[in-house]
Amino acid sequence: MDETIELKKTPLYDLHLALGARMVPFAGYAMPVQYPAGVLKEHLHTRAKAGLFDVSHMGQVTIRAKSGSVEDAALALESLVPVDILGLKEGRQRYGFFTDDQGGILDDLMIANRGDHLFVVVNAGCKDADFAHLQEHLGATCQITPLDDRALVALQGPRAASVLAELWAGVVDMKFMDVREIELHDVPCLVSRSGYSGEDGFEISIPADKATMIVHALLDHPDCEAIGLGARDSLRLEAGLCLYGNDIDTSTTPIEAALEWAIQKARRPGGVRAGGFPGAARILDEIEDGVARRRVGLRPDGKAPVRDHAALFADAEGTQRVGEVTSGGFGPSAEGPVAMGYLPAALTDPGARVFAEVRGKYLPLTVTALPFVTPSYKR
């Protein structure tokens, strides 16, 4: 790490050092990229058993309508996102994104209905801008409260439920995207059945001063190991999940990014609350008429990974550039290199062939349906 830069530390920083983590700068924080086992073993352990990730660098915020009505908070937030928040039932969570006036994505986020308020989790690199965005647009009618005194961990993998059940038996009743307030060792925590790996799992918001104790309790289970950001990235890539700043940003619309599944009927053309969010004219038009380019999965031939920002060409000579890789690397569970990127609509059908420029050579890739691994969420 560059010691001239003063990095923030999560509540679990000392624990990472005790576990032998290699720390790197990420979104202004000192974060564990891997532990002694290494990225490959950490990735495979998460797919086979349960991995525990520190994601405390992400932003947690509550939105409470000054009227006291969660419906008013939902309608207020709908003015910033193309997502049906009013229809989100208490105890449920939904994926969404802030959009700008041009239809670009300012950030993607998770939104939960907590009965009397909304609980929102945003990306670390965007959280200050997101908090300001919420305050500017909703501050007159809602109380916006960043939760700086809480840690956030993600427990992911096919044995995540059995690990968490050792501390809280009620986990067995939760389904994908359920949210519950629970007690772990008498500590009030907020848990959602969700994650960023393509596996069953949970994200757990914990009071910062109790985080190390709870994490120790989870890691005491023989199936659970600490996992770093390196494996988190390869897991989400195999699952076909977007990384903000790579696969989505203000230059990409939700429809170009193949995220229209997250825009519910109520907010689409003809819906009861269609539009009414920034960039609605463009986004609703793209839902109806399609887009000129689209995010796709890519499988390189051979064993050489094709990394982020590699240019994509329609021909092996590199004369016709058609797109760019936005995320790429080796997929341990996919047993080969995997990537995502944007291509013209005419080249997005599975089986289409393109070529990536890698160190002066043009390597062939095949357009592939996403995700690269079958998700195992508990429906």
- How many angstroms from the chain centroid is the CA of residue 168? 25
Would you give the end-to-end CA distance of the chain in angstroms? 41
**Ranges of H-type helices in 166-250:** 211-219, 229-238
The conformation of residue 217, written as its DSSP 8-state character, comes to H
Residues 274 and 281: their CA atoms lie apart, in Å, by 10
Residues of the chain whose pLDDT is less than 50?
Answer: 1-2
Residue 2's closest CA among 28, 21, 20? 28
The one-letter code for the residue type at 333 is S
The conformation of residue 377, written as its DSSP 8-state character, comes to -
Q: Is the peptide bond before 371 cis (omega within 30 degrees of 0)?
A: yes
* Reported pTM: 0.96
CB 321 within 8 A of CB 341: no
Q: Which pLDDT score is estimated for 378? A: 85
Q: Which pLDDT score is estimated for 58? A: 98
Residue 33's closest CA among 225, 227, 168? 227
Beta strands at 187-192 and 179-184: parallel, antiparallel or unpaired:
antiparallel
Q: Which pLDDT score is estimated for 94? A: 98
Q: Which pLDDT score is estimated for 379? A: 78
Q: What residue ranges define each of the domains in the chain, with the CATH number in brackets?
A: 8-55+149-238 (3.30.1360.120), 292-379 (2.40.30.110)
Place of tokens 């996102």: 81
Which residues, including other chains, have CB under 8 Å from residue 23's CB and lie 6 or more apart?
Answer: 1, 16, 17, 30, 31, 32, 33
Q: Which pLDDT score is estimated for 1? A: 45
Q: Which pLDDT score is estimated for 5? A: 72
